[in-house]
Chains A and B, each alone.
Chain A
Amino acid sequence: SAVISQKPSRDICQRGTSLTIQCQVDSQVTMMFWYRQQPGQSLTLIATANQGSEATYESGFVIDKFPISRPNLTFSTLTVSNMSPEDSSIYLCSARTGGIETQYFGPGTRLLVL
């Protein structure tokens, strides 16, 4: 299994600002993903974080709003840009190791935008 940590665990931000969330995995993984969970809702995939190249975004999510980096096999960042109150959500990082279909999740970052 993989142990995943995220920083920060929570934050309160002003509208118009940006926040970068960090995701660290304790072992090398082949795939990393970012999900959003809006209040009282299920999880929605934002993008697949590709190592050394641009992330692959799902419909409804764009790079200008959610730039993602993945410089190596154990680390990724998600930036929520130009935030509005609608961005208030839990953002979760997940990872999957090669050949293993199980996907492990970090503890999430709870974001409140005022």
Chain B
Amino acid sequence: SQQGEEDPQALSIQEGENATMNCSYKTSINNLQWYRQNSGRGLVHLILIRSNEREKHSGRLRVTLDTSKKSSSLLITASRAADTASYFCATGSSNTGKLIFGQGTTLQVKP
């Protein structure tokens, strides 16, 4: 079963704007990972944030984690047309290694 929900389900913005996607989950986690998927292809790992971390940066990506609210957000700054893809959050267990995915957000960046 899915761990939680992502919001919004779809997002359309202009190139140069920022995109924010939110992810909520239900159970305790060890880590939360964000992935990108282009047109039904394989998943590309973007960033991992551990349960004891609150914020992490990687290039134009910024991820926050609020374990008290069981939520995370992914911010993509200065978006590009190449950022057009589906973005998934996944909660992970360090022991089992299993990932439980959210429903995903489809991002369209218009040139």
Q: Which chain A residues have a beta carbon within 8 Å of chain B's beta carbons?
A: 30-31, 33, 37, 41-45, 48, 59, 90, 92, 94, 96, 101-108, 110
Q: Which chain B residues have a beta carbon within 8 Å of chain A's beta carbons?
A: 1-2, 30-31, 33, 35, 40-45, 48, 50, 88, 90, 92, 94, 96-104
Q: Compute how far the CA of A90 lies from the CA of B33 in the bound complex, rounded to whole angstroms.
A: 20
A101 with B88, Cβ < 8 A, contacts A107-B41, A107-B42 known: no
Closest to B40 in A: A90
Contacts of A37 in B (CB 8 A): 40
Contact partner, A42, options B30, B41, B48, B103, Cβ 8 Å: B103
Contact partner, A43, options B44, B88, B94, B97, Cβ 8 Å: B88
**Chain B min CB distance to A94 (Å):** 8
Contacts of A94 in B (CB 8 A): 43, 99
Contact partner, A105, options B1, B42, B97, B98, Cβ 8 Å: B42
